[in-house]
Amino acid sequence: MRKLLVFVLVPLLGGCVGTIANTAVSAVTLPVKVASKGVDMATTSQAEADQKRGREIRKAEEQRGRELREMEQRCRKGKALLTDDCRSFQGR
């Protein structure tokens, strides 16, 4: 009876041992994965830096365009500020 029980239980334990081994490997590699993810998040790739710089440039250009349109409106209405250069809008 014992031999039969051993033959029945051994295949069942094989799956359990595999699961335990996988869990142990996961537990060992987890700190490495966490550390590498932290380094990846802390550093910026060149492509990410380029994208960020491009967004900053577009944002600055949009702001400059808004300021120019506002200055043009002030010049046309005769309410120019001292810093406005209305000469560039007189010919339009």
Average pLDDT by consecutive 10-residue portion of the chain (92 residues)?
57 56 66 73 84 97 95 91 83 56
Residues 74 and 81: beta-carbon distance below 8 Å: yes
Look at residue 33 in the predicted model and tell me its pLDDT: 75
Q: Please tell me the predicted confidence (pLDDT) of residue 55.
A: 97
Distance, CA of 8 to CA of 25 (rounded, Å): 27
Give the pLDDT score at 41: 72
Q: How far apart are CA 44 and CA 86, in angstroms?
A: 43
Whole-number pLDDT of residue 45:
86
- What global pTM score does this model have? 0.47
| pLDDT number for residue 61 | 98
